[in-house]
Amino acid sequence: MGKVLTIHGGVPLKGKVTVRGAKNLVPKAMVAALLGDCPSVLRNVPEIKDVAVVTSLLKIHGVTVTKDEATGDLTMDPSGTKTATSNEIDTHAGDSRIPILFCGPLLHSLGEALIPNLGGCKIGDRPIDFHLDVLRHFGAEIDKAGPFGTTIRAPHGLTGAKISLPYPSVGATEQVLLTAVRAKGTTELENAAVEPEILDLISLLQKMGALITVGRDRVIRVTGVEKLKGYNHKALPDRNEAASWASAALVTKGDIFVEGAIQRNLTSFLHTYRQIGGEFEVTDDGIRFFHPGGELKPLILETDVHPGFMTDWQQPLVVALTQASGVSIIHETVYENRFGFTTALVEMGARVQLHSECLGAIPCRFGQRNFKHSAVITGPTPLTGADIDIPDLRGGFSHLIAALAAEGTSHVTGIELINRGYEKFMEKLTGLGARVEMNELASSL
Ligand code: EPZ
Protein backbone atom coordinates (compact mmCIF):
# COMPACT_ATOMS: atom_id res chain seq x y z
CA MET A 1 0.00 0.00 0.00
CA GLY A 2 1.52 3.39 -1.02
CA LYS A 3 1.90 6.41 1.18
CA VAL A 4 0.34 9.85 0.87
CA LEU A 5 1.87 13.05 2.20
CA THR A 6 -0.64 15.64 3.43
CA ILE A 7 0.72 19.19 3.26
CA HIS A 8 -0.96 22.20 4.90
CA GLY A 9 0.43 25.17 2.98
CA GLY A 10 1.22 28.77 3.83
CA VAL A 11 4.03 28.19 6.36
CA PRO A 12 7.44 29.87 5.68
CA LEU A 13 10.21 27.25 6.04
CA LYS A 14 12.78 28.38 8.63
CA GLY A 15 15.81 26.70 10.20
CA LYS A 16 18.77 24.55 9.17
CA VAL A 17 19.23 21.48 6.97
CA THR A 18 22.43 19.54 6.28
CA VAL A 19 23.28 18.21 2.84
CA ARG A 20 25.63 15.24 2.61
CA GLY A 21 27.31 13.41 -0.26
CA ALA A 22 26.01 14.12 -3.77
CA LYS A 23 23.48 11.67 -5.28
CA ASN A 24 25.23 12.23 -8.62
CA LEU A 25 28.67 11.28 -7.30
CA VAL A 26 28.26 8.71 -4.48
CA PRO A 27 26.91 5.78 -6.59
CA LYS A 28 29.69 6.30 -9.15
CA ALA A 29 32.32 6.40 -6.37
CA MET A 30 30.92 3.09 -5.13
CA VAL A 31 31.30 1.57 -8.61
CA ALA A 32 34.90 2.83 -8.78
CA ALA A 33 35.73 0.63 -5.75
CA LEU A 34 35.53 -2.33 -8.17
CA LEU A 35 38.72 -1.03 -9.86
CA GLY A 36 40.89 -1.32 -6.73
CA ASP A 37 42.94 -4.35 -5.60
CA CYS A 38 42.07 -3.68 -1.94
CA PRO A 39 39.12 -2.19 0.02
CA SER A 40 37.94 1.41 -0.46
CA VAL A 41 36.28 3.65 2.14
CA LEU A 42 33.67 6.22 1.13
CA ARG A 43 32.63 8.87 3.67
CA ASN A 44 29.77 11.42 3.75
CA VAL A 45 27.39 8.83 2.25
CA PRO A 46 23.71 9.92 2.30
CA GLU A 47 20.88 7.50 3.18
CA ILE A 48 19.16 7.57 -0.21
CA LYS A 49 17.62 4.85 -2.39
CA ASP A 50 20.28 5.06 -5.10
CA VAL A 51 22.94 4.07 -2.52
CA ALA A 52 20.89 1.04 -1.50
CA VAL A 53 20.47 0.01 -5.17
CA VAL A 54 24.22 0.18 -5.87
CA THR A 55 25.04 -1.58 -2.58
CA SER A 56 22.97 -4.57 -3.66
CA LEU A 57 24.38 -4.44 -7.21
CA LEU A 58 27.92 -4.58 -5.76
CA LYS A 59 26.95 -7.46 -3.45
CA ILE A 60 25.53 -9.59 -6.28
CA HIS A 61 28.89 -9.06 -8.01
CA GLY A 62 30.72 -10.49 -4.99
CA VAL A 63 31.85 -7.20 -3.41
CA THR A 64 31.71 -7.10 0.40
CA VAL A 65 30.03 -3.86 1.45
CA THR A 66 30.14 -2.91 5.13
CA LYS A 67 28.40 0.13 6.59
CA ASP A 68 29.60 1.88 9.75
CA GLU A 69 26.26 2.39 11.52
CA ALA A 70 27.56 5.39 13.45
CA THR A 71 28.93 7.40 10.52
CA GLY A 72 27.27 5.78 7.50
CA ASP A 73 30.74 5.32 5.96
CA LEU A 74 30.96 2.43 3.49
CA THR A 75 33.88 -0.01 3.17
CA MET A 76 33.83 -1.89 -0.14
CA ASP A 77 36.13 -4.92 -0.65
CA PRO A 78 36.28 -6.03 -4.33
CA SER A 79 38.58 -9.04 -3.75
CA GLY A 80 35.65 -11.45 -4.32
CA THR A 81 34.33 -9.84 -7.53
CA LYS A 82 32.39 -12.36 -9.63
CA THR A 83 29.91 -12.49 -12.49
CA ALA A 84 26.29 -12.01 -11.39
CA THR A 85 23.53 -14.19 -12.79
CA SER A 86 21.01 -12.64 -15.17
CA ASN A 87 18.23 -13.32 -12.63
CA GLU A 88 20.14 -11.47 -9.94
CA ILE A 89 20.74 -8.55 -12.29
CA ASP A 90 17.19 -8.59 -13.56
CA THR A 91 15.94 -7.88 -10.04
CA HIS A 92 17.62 -4.53 -10.43
CA ALA A 93 16.27 -3.73 -13.86
CA GLY A 94 14.45 -0.42 -13.90
CA ASP A 95 15.89 0.80 -10.59
CA SER A 96 18.48 3.24 -11.83
CA ARG A 97 20.88 4.15 -14.65
CA ILE A 98 23.99 3.29 -12.62
CA PRO A 99 24.35 -0.35 -13.84
CA ILE A 100 25.67 0.93 -17.19
CA LEU A 101 28.72 2.30 -15.33
CA PHE A 102 29.66 -1.17 -14.05
CA CYS A 103 30.87 -2.04 -17.59
CA GLY A 104 34.46 -0.78 -17.52
CA PRO A 105 35.38 -2.13 -14.05
CA LEU A 106 33.71 -5.53 -14.70
CA LEU A 107 35.31 -5.86 -18.14
CA HIS A 108 38.72 -5.21 -16.52
CA SER A 109 38.21 -7.75 -13.72
CA LEU A 110 35.99 -10.36 -15.40
CA GLY A 111 36.21 -9.71 -19.19
CA GLU A 112 32.38 -9.54 -19.32
CA ALA A 113 29.52 -7.39 -18.08
CA LEU A 114 25.76 -7.89 -18.23
CA ILE A 115 23.71 -4.68 -18.14
CA PRO A 116 19.98 -4.80 -17.27
CA ASN A 117 17.39 -2.56 -18.91
CA LEU A 118 17.95 0.84 -17.32
CA GLY A 119 15.63 3.05 -15.25
CA GLY A 120 16.05 6.59 -13.93
CA CYS A 121 13.78 9.66 -14.14
CA LYS A 122 11.39 9.90 -17.12
CA ILE A 123 12.62 13.32 -18.29
CA GLY A 124 13.57 12.35 -21.81
CA ASP A 125 14.41 9.37 -24.00
CA ARG A 126 17.79 8.98 -22.21
CA PRO A 127 19.50 6.67 -24.73
CA ILE A 128 22.88 5.00 -23.95
CA ASP A 129 24.33 5.25 -27.48
CA PHE A 130 27.29 7.40 -26.30
CA HIS A 131 28.14 4.77 -23.65
CA LEU A 132 28.09 1.88 -26.12
CA ASP A 133 30.12 3.87 -28.69
CA VAL A 134 32.71 4.70 -26.02
CA LEU A 135 33.04 1.03 -25.03
CA ARG A 136 33.44 0.02 -28.67
CA HIS A 137 36.30 2.55 -28.93
CA PHE A 138 38.08 0.65 -26.12
CA GLY A 139 37.62 -2.60 -28.07
CA ALA A 140 34.60 -4.03 -26.28
CA GLU A 141 32.02 -6.17 -28.14
CA ILE A 142 28.36 -5.31 -27.53
CA ASP A 143 25.65 -7.96 -27.74
CA LYS A 144 22.22 -6.35 -27.29
CA ALA A 145 20.29 -9.47 -28.20
CA GLY A 146 20.17 -10.96 -24.67
CA PRO A 147 16.72 -11.40 -22.96
CA PHE A 148 17.89 -9.69 -19.76
CA GLY A 149 19.65 -6.67 -21.23
CA THR A 150 22.99 -6.10 -22.95
CA THR A 151 26.07 -8.32 -22.72
CA ILE A 152 29.47 -6.69 -23.21
CA ARG A 153 32.71 -8.62 -23.66
CA ALA A 154 36.38 -7.69 -24.07
CA PRO A 155 38.05 -10.87 -25.33
CA HIS A 156 41.27 -8.96 -26.13
CA GLY A 157 41.20 -6.63 -23.15
CA LEU A 158 40.60 -2.88 -23.35
CA THR A 159 42.88 -0.38 -25.07
CA GLY A 160 42.93 3.40 -24.74
CA ALA A 161 41.49 5.50 -27.59
CA LYS A 162 40.89 9.02 -28.87
CA ILE A 163 37.20 9.75 -28.26
CA SER A 164 35.10 12.84 -28.91
CA LEU A 165 31.62 12.99 -27.35
CA PRO A 166 28.79 14.42 -29.49
CA TYR A 167 27.52 16.15 -26.31
CA PRO A 168 29.31 16.67 -22.94
CA SER A 169 27.36 13.82 -21.31
CA VAL A 170 28.06 13.26 -17.58
CA GLY A 171 27.37 9.53 -17.79
CA ALA A 172 29.45 8.91 -20.93
CA THR A 173 32.39 10.87 -19.44
CA GLU A 174 32.18 8.70 -16.30
CA GLN A 175 32.09 5.63 -18.57
CA VAL A 176 35.35 6.74 -20.17
CA LEU A 177 37.01 7.50 -16.82
CA LEU A 178 36.02 4.17 -15.21
CA THR A 179 37.29 2.27 -18.29
CA ALA A 180 40.38 4.23 -19.35
CA VAL A 181 42.13 4.19 -15.93
CA ARG A 182 43.08 0.49 -16.34
CA ALA A 183 43.03 0.21 -20.15
CA LYS A 184 46.24 -0.34 -22.10
CA GLY A 185 47.78 2.94 -23.30
CA THR A 186 46.41 6.48 -23.41
CA THR A 187 42.88 7.80 -23.80
CA GLU A 188 42.07 11.35 -24.91
CA LEU A 189 38.46 12.41 -24.37
CA GLU A 190 37.23 15.55 -26.11
CA ASN A 191 34.00 17.47 -25.31
CA ALA A 192 33.98 15.90 -21.85
CA ALA A 193 31.62 16.81 -19.00
CA VAL A 194 33.41 18.79 -16.25
CA GLU A 195 30.71 18.95 -13.58
CA PRO A 196 31.98 19.16 -9.96
CA GLU A 197 30.87 15.55 -9.51
CA ILE A 198 33.13 14.54 -12.44
CA LEU A 199 36.10 16.38 -10.91
CA ASP A 200 35.42 14.71 -7.56
CA LEU A 201 35.40 11.29 -9.27
CA ILE A 202 38.72 12.18 -10.93
CA SER A 203 40.17 13.12 -7.49
CA LEU A 204 39.05 9.78 -6.11
CA LEU A 205 40.58 7.84 -9.05
CA GLN A 206 43.84 9.75 -8.63
CA LYS A 207 43.88 8.62 -4.98
CA MET A 208 43.69 5.05 -6.30
CA GLY A 209 46.84 5.65 -8.40
CA ALA A 210 45.27 6.66 -11.72
CA LEU A 211 47.05 8.90 -14.25
CA ILE A 212 44.48 11.52 -15.24
CA THR A 213 44.63 15.16 -16.21
CA VAL A 214 41.93 17.69 -17.21
CA GLY A 215 43.09 20.01 -20.00
CA ARG A 216 41.49 23.17 -21.34
CA ASP A 217 38.39 23.06 -23.58
CA ARG A 218 36.86 19.95 -21.97
CA VAL A 219 39.74 17.57 -22.86
CA ILE A 220 40.55 14.80 -20.36
CA ARG A 221 43.67 12.60 -20.82
CA VAL A 222 44.15 9.26 -19.05
CA THR A 223 47.11 6.87 -19.20
CA GLY A 224 45.99 3.41 -18.14
CA VAL A 225 47.77 1.54 -15.34
CA GLU A 226 47.68 -2.17 -14.60
CA LYS A 227 46.70 -1.95 -10.95
CA LEU A 228 44.85 0.53 -8.73
CA LYS A 229 44.64 0.50 -4.95
CA GLY A 230 41.60 1.29 -2.79
CA TYR A 231 40.64 4.88 -1.93
CA ASN A 232 39.61 6.71 1.21
CA HIS A 233 37.40 9.60 0.11
CA LYS A 234 34.87 12.09 1.45
CA ALA A 235 32.13 12.66 -1.15
CA LEU A 236 31.45 16.29 -2.15
CA PRO A 237 28.18 17.72 -0.77
CA ASP A 238 25.03 17.58 -2.89
CA ARG A 239 24.74 20.95 -4.68
CA ASN A 240 21.41 19.89 -6.25
CA GLU A 241 19.83 19.29 -2.87
CA ALA A 242 21.25 22.62 -1.67
CA ALA A 243 19.70 24.44 -4.66
CA SER A 244 16.36 22.71 -3.98
CA TRP A 245 16.21 23.93 -0.37
CA ALA A 246 17.26 27.41 -1.55
CA SER A 247 14.24 27.47 -3.88
CA ALA A 248 12.04 26.22 -1.02
CA ALA A 249 13.16 29.19 1.12
CA LEU A 250 12.24 31.62 -1.68
CA VAL A 251 8.88 30.06 -2.58
CA THR A 252 7.69 29.84 1.05
CA LYS A 253 9.11 33.29 1.94
CA GLY A 254 11.34 31.49 4.44
CA ASP A 255 14.93 31.45 5.68
CA ILE A 256 17.02 28.23 5.49
CA PHE A 257 20.67 27.67 6.40
CA VAL A 258 21.99 24.82 4.20
CA GLU A 259 24.93 23.31 6.05
CA GLY A 260 27.44 21.73 3.63
CA ALA A 261 26.50 23.89 0.62
CA ILE A 262 29.63 25.03 -1.27
CA GLN A 263 29.56 28.39 -3.12
CA ARG A 264 32.02 27.49 -5.95
CA ASN A 265 29.78 24.56 -7.03
CA LEU A 266 26.72 26.82 -7.17
CA THR A 267 28.04 29.99 -8.85
CA SER A 268 25.50 30.17 -11.69
CA PHE A 269 22.66 29.17 -9.36
CA LEU A 270 23.55 31.93 -6.84
CA HIS A 271 23.75 34.46 -9.67
CA THR A 272 20.25 33.53 -10.87
CA TYR A 273 18.90 33.37 -7.30
CA ARG A 274 19.94 36.99 -6.65
CA GLN A 275 18.67 38.11 -10.08
CA ILE A 276 15.10 37.02 -9.25
CA GLY A 277 15.25 38.66 -5.83
CA GLY A 278 16.46 35.90 -3.50
CA GLU A 279 19.26 36.62 -1.02
CA PHE A 280 22.03 34.45 0.42
CA GLU A 281 24.91 34.64 2.89
CA VAL A 282 27.94 32.39 2.48
CA THR A 283 29.81 31.01 5.50
CA ASP A 284 32.59 28.40 5.80
CA ASP A 285 30.01 25.80 6.89
CA GLY A 286 27.29 26.46 4.37
CA ILE A 287 24.98 29.04 2.82
CA ARG A 288 21.95 30.84 4.28
CA PHE A 289 19.14 31.31 1.71
CA PHE A 290 16.22 33.66 2.40
CA HIS A 291 13.43 35.78 0.92
CA PRO A 292 14.39 39.38 1.72
CA GLY A 293 10.82 40.60 1.18
CA GLY A 294 9.52 42.58 -1.79
CA GLU A 295 8.55 41.21 -5.19
CA LEU A 296 10.36 38.46 -7.08
CA LYS A 297 11.56 39.49 -10.55
CA PRO A 298 11.01 37.51 -13.78
CA LEU A 299 13.92 36.40 -15.98
CA ILE A 300 15.02 34.56 -19.08
CA LEU A 301 16.98 31.42 -18.25
CA GLU A 302 18.65 28.60 -20.22
CA THR A 303 19.83 25.37 -18.69
CA ASP A 304 23.22 24.09 -19.82
CA VAL A 305 26.10 21.80 -18.90
CA HIS A 306 28.54 22.97 -16.19
CA PRO A 307 29.44 25.77 -15.52
CA GLY A 308 26.05 26.87 -16.90
CA PHE A 309 22.71 26.77 -15.00
CA MET A 310 22.12 23.11 -14.24
CA THR A 311 19.04 21.29 -15.52
CA ASP A 312 18.41 19.70 -12.07
CA TRP A 313 17.96 23.18 -10.56
CA GLN A 314 15.32 24.17 -13.12
CA GLN A 315 12.23 22.51 -11.67
CA PRO A 316 12.28 23.86 -8.09
CA LEU A 317 13.17 27.31 -9.43
CA VAL A 318 10.18 27.31 -11.81
CA VAL A 319 7.90 27.32 -8.74
CA ALA A 320 9.60 30.54 -7.55
CA LEU A 321 9.09 32.09 -11.01
CA THR A 322 5.32 31.43 -10.79
CA GLN A 323 5.45 34.01 -7.97
CA ALA A 324 7.57 36.59 -9.83
CA SER A 325 5.92 39.77 -11.15
CA GLY A 326 6.01 39.39 -14.91
CA VAL A 327 6.90 36.93 -17.68
CA SER A 328 9.81 34.47 -17.34
CA ILE A 329 11.14 32.19 -20.08
CA ILE A 330 13.07 28.95 -19.51
CA HIS A 331 14.83 27.09 -22.36
CA GLU A 332 15.68 23.55 -21.22
CA THR A 333 18.61 22.43 -23.42
CA VAL A 334 19.80 19.27 -21.59
CA TYR A 335 16.62 17.12 -21.59
CA GLU A 336 13.89 17.20 -24.19
CA ASN A 337 11.00 16.40 -21.87
CA ARG A 338 11.59 18.02 -18.48
CA PHE A 339 8.50 20.22 -18.08
CA GLY A 340 5.95 17.45 -17.42
CA PHE A 341 5.83 18.51 -13.77
CA THR A 342 4.27 21.90 -14.73
CA THR A 343 0.88 20.25 -15.39
CA ALA A 344 0.30 19.93 -11.64
CA LEU A 345 1.51 23.51 -11.05
CA VAL A 346 -1.05 24.77 -13.58
CA GLU A 347 -3.76 22.79 -11.74
CA MET A 348 -2.66 24.63 -8.58
CA GLY A 349 -3.14 27.98 -10.31
CA ALA A 350 0.19 28.72 -12.00
CA ARG A 351 0.32 30.15 -15.55
CA VAL A 352 2.81 28.10 -17.56
CA GLN A 353 2.79 27.63 -21.34
CA LEU A 354 5.07 25.11 -23.02
CA HIS A 355 6.60 25.53 -26.49
CA SER A 356 8.67 23.31 -28.78
CA GLU A 357 10.65 26.30 -30.11
CA CYS A 358 14.11 27.06 -28.68
CA LEU A 359 13.25 30.22 -26.71
CA GLY A 360 16.86 31.12 -26.04
CA ALA A 361 20.32 31.65 -27.50
CA ILE A 362 22.00 28.32 -26.63
CA PRO A 363 22.01 25.97 -29.68
CA CYS A 364 19.88 23.03 -28.71
CA ARG A 365 19.45 19.46 -30.01
CA PHE A 366 15.68 19.62 -29.52
CA GLY A 367 14.64 22.60 -31.67
CA GLN A 368 11.82 22.07 -34.22
CA ARG A 369 11.34 18.47 -33.12
CA ASN A 370 8.04 18.65 -31.21
CA PHE A 371 9.69 18.55 -27.83
CA LYS A 372 8.03 20.98 -25.39
CA HIS A 373 11.37 22.15 -24.00
CA SER A 374 10.71 25.85 -23.49
CA ALA A 375 8.37 27.30 -20.86
CA VAL A 376 6.78 30.75 -20.56
CA ILE A 377 5.75 31.51 -16.96
CA THR A 378 3.49 34.46 -16.13
CA GLY A 379 3.28 35.57 -12.52
CA PRO A 380 2.46 36.19 -9.83
CA THR A 381 -0.49 33.81 -9.43
CA PRO A 382 -1.71 32.46 -6.09
CA LEU A 383 -1.26 28.68 -5.70
CA THR A 384 -4.01 26.52 -4.19
CA GLY A 385 -3.60 23.07 -2.63
CA ALA A 386 -4.33 20.04 -4.87
CA ASP A 387 -3.98 16.26 -5.17
CA ILE A 388 -0.61 15.61 -6.85
CA ASP A 389 1.14 12.45 -8.08
CA ILE A 390 4.90 12.89 -8.31
CA PRO A 391 6.38 12.25 -11.83
CA ASP A 392 10.13 12.32 -11.09
CA LEU A 393 12.72 13.31 -8.48
CA ARG A 394 13.19 17.06 -9.10
CA GLY A 395 9.64 17.54 -10.39
CA GLY A 396 8.51 15.91 -7.17
CA PHE A 397 10.50 18.28 -4.98
CA SER A 398 9.07 21.23 -6.87
CA HIS A 399 5.56 19.90 -6.16
CA LEU A 400 6.38 19.69 -2.45
CA ILE A 401 7.50 23.30 -2.28
CA ALA A 402 4.51 24.47 -4.36
CA ALA A 403 2.19 22.69 -1.91
CA LEU A 404 4.07 24.21 1.05
CA ALA A 405 3.54 27.70 -0.42
CA ALA A 406 -0.04 27.12 -1.53
CA GLU A 407 -3.28 28.16 0.14
CA GLY A 408 -5.01 25.10 1.66
CA THR A 409 -4.16 21.41 1.78
CA SER A 410 -2.48 19.12 -0.77
CA HIS A 411 -2.29 15.33 -0.91
CA VAL A 412 0.89 14.10 -2.57
CA THR A 413 1.41 10.50 -3.77
CA GLY A 414 4.43 8.81 -5.43
CA ILE A 415 6.44 10.29 -2.56
CA GLU A 416 8.92 7.34 -2.52
CA LEU A 417 10.53 8.86 -5.65
CA ILE A 418 11.85 11.67 -3.46
CA ASN A 419 13.82 9.17 -1.36
CA ARG A 420 15.92 8.42 -4.41
CA GLY A 421 17.79 11.70 -4.02
CA TYR A 422 16.72 13.62 -0.90
CA GLU A 423 18.00 12.18 2.39
CA LYS A 424 15.58 12.29 5.38
CA PHE A 425 13.38 14.88 3.64
CA MET A 426 10.43 14.36 5.99
CA GLU A 427 12.62 15.02 9.07
CA LYS A 428 14.04 18.08 7.32
CA LEU A 429 10.59 19.42 6.40
CA THR A 430 9.22 19.07 9.93
CA GLY A 431 12.47 20.51 11.32
CA LEU A 432 11.86 23.61 9.16
CA GLY A 433 8.35 24.02 10.57
CA ALA A 434 6.34 22.51 7.72
CA ARG A 435 2.87 21.22 8.62
CA VAL A 436 2.97 17.76 7.01
CA GLU A 437 1.76 14.24 7.80
CA MET A 438 2.60 10.96 6.09
CA ASN A 439 -0.24 8.38 6.00
CA GLU A 440 -1.05 5.06 4.39
CA LEU A 441 -2.88 5.74 1.10
CA ALA A 442 -6.25 4.09 1.75
CA SER A 443 -7.04 5.69 5.12
CA SER A 444 -6.58 9.43 4.35
CA LEU A 445 -8.19 10.00 0.90
C1 EPZ B 1 23.47 12.87 -14.89
O2 EPZ B 1 22.61 12.07 -15.72
C3 EPZ B 1 22.67 13.11 -13.60
N4 EPZ B 1 22.32 11.83 -13.03
C5 EPZ B 1 21.39 13.87 -13.93
O6 EPZ B 1 20.71 14.17 -12.72
C7 EPZ B 1 21.75 15.19 -14.58
O8 EPZ B 1 20.58 15.85 -14.97
C9 EPZ B 1 22.62 14.92 -15.83
O10 EPZ B 1 23.77 14.13 -15.49
C11 EPZ B 1 23.10 16.22 -16.48
O12 EPZ B 1 23.86 16.97 -15.61
C13 EPZ B 1 23.25 11.16 -12.33
O14 EPZ B 1 24.39 11.57 -12.19
C15 EPZ B 1 22.83 9.86 -11.72
P16 EPZ B 1 23.92 12.91 -19.36
P17 EPZ B 1 23.18 11.38 -17.04
O18 EPZ B 1 24.54 11.67 -19.87
O19 EPZ B 1 24.60 10.99 -16.84
C20 EPZ B 1 21.91 12.63 -23.70
C21 EPZ B 1 18.93 14.24 -11.20
O22 EPZ B 1 17.80 14.77 -11.16
N23 EPZ B 1 22.62 11.34 -23.88
O24 EPZ B 1 24.80 14.08 -19.10
O25 EPZ B 1 22.21 10.34 -17.44
C26 EPZ B 1 20.78 12.52 -22.66
O27 EPZ B 1 19.64 11.95 -23.20
C28 EPZ B 1 19.43 13.57 -12.49
O29 EPZ B 1 19.69 14.19 -10.24
C30 EPZ B 1 22.51 10.68 -25.10
O31 EPZ B 1 21.85 11.16 -26.03
O32 EPZ B 1 23.06 12.62 -18.05
C33 EPZ B 1 20.61 13.98 -22.25
O34 EPZ B 1 19.80 14.63 -23.17
C35 EPZ B 1 18.45 13.69 -13.60
N36 EPZ B 1 23.14 9.48 -25.22
C37 EPZ B 1 22.04 14.51 -22.30
O38 EPZ B 1 22.78 13.62 -23.16
C39 EPZ B 1 23.88 8.92 -24.20
O40 EPZ B 1 24.43 7.81 -24.36
C41 EPZ B 1 22.71 14.60 -20.95
O42 EPZ B 1 22.74 13.34 -20.36
C43 EPZ B 1 23.98 9.61 -22.97
C44 EPZ B 1 23.35 10.83 -22.82
Alpha helices in 33-85, H assignment, sequence order: 49-60
Confidence tier at 2 by pLDDT (50, 70, 90): confident
Q: 190, exposed or middle or buried, with CB in 10 Å at 0-12, 13-18, 19+? A: middle
Q: Which of 324, 339, 325, 323 is nearest to 374 (CA)?
A: 339
Ranges 116-120, 240-244, 353-357, 390-394: which has the least confidence: 116-120
Region 188-215: what's the mean pLDDT? 98
| Binding-site residue set for phosphoenolpyruvate | 23-24
Count the neighbouring beta carbons within 10 Å of the beta carbon of residue 387: 13
Between CA 96 and CA 119 the distance in angstroms is 4
Helix or strand or coil: residue 257? strand
Instruction: Determine whether 121 is an active site residue.
Output: yes
As a dihedral over the C-alpha atoms of residue 418, residue 419, residue 420, residue 423, rounded to 10 degrees, the angle is: 110
- The HSE-up count of residue 96 (CA atoms within 13 Å, CB side) is 24
- Distance linking the first and last C-alpha atoms of the chain: 13
Ligand 1 neighbours, Cβ below 6 Å, are 23-24, 97, 121, 124, 126-131, 167, 169-172, 193, 240, 311-312, 334-335, 393-394, 421
pTM of the model: 0.96
Please determine, for residue 118, whether its predicted confidence score (pLDDT) is greater than 70: no
Taking only the tens place, the pLDDT of each residue in 35-75 is: 999 999 999 999 999 999 999 999 999 999 999 999 999 99
User: If you take atom 42 of ligand 1, which residue's CA is the nearest one?
Assistant: 169
Could you tell me the distance, in angstroms and rounded to a whole number, from the CA of residue 172 to the centre of ligand 1? 9
List the catalytic residue out of 38, 103, 121, 358.
121
Confidence tier at 194 by pLDDT (50, 70, 90): very high
101-117 burial by CB neighbour count: b if 16+ within 10 A, else e? Answer: bbbbbbbbbbbbbbbbe
DSSP H or E segment with residue 47: none
Confidence tier at 120 by pLDDT (50, 70, 90): low
Taking only the tens place, the pLDDT of each residue in 225-268 is: 999 999 999 999 999 999 999 999 999 999 999 999 999 999 99
Q: What percent of the chain has pLDDT over 70?
A: 96
CA angle 234, 311, 16 (to 5 degrees): 50
Q: So what's the pLDDT on residue 445?
A: 45
Q: So what's the pLDDT on residue 225?
A: 98
Count the neighbouring beta carbons within 10 Å of the beta carbon of residue 313: 24
Between CA 288 and CA 14 the distance in angstroms is 10
Taking only the tens place, the pLDDT of each residue in 387-445 is: 999 999 999 999 999 999 999 999 999 999 998 999 999 999 999 999 999 998 865 44
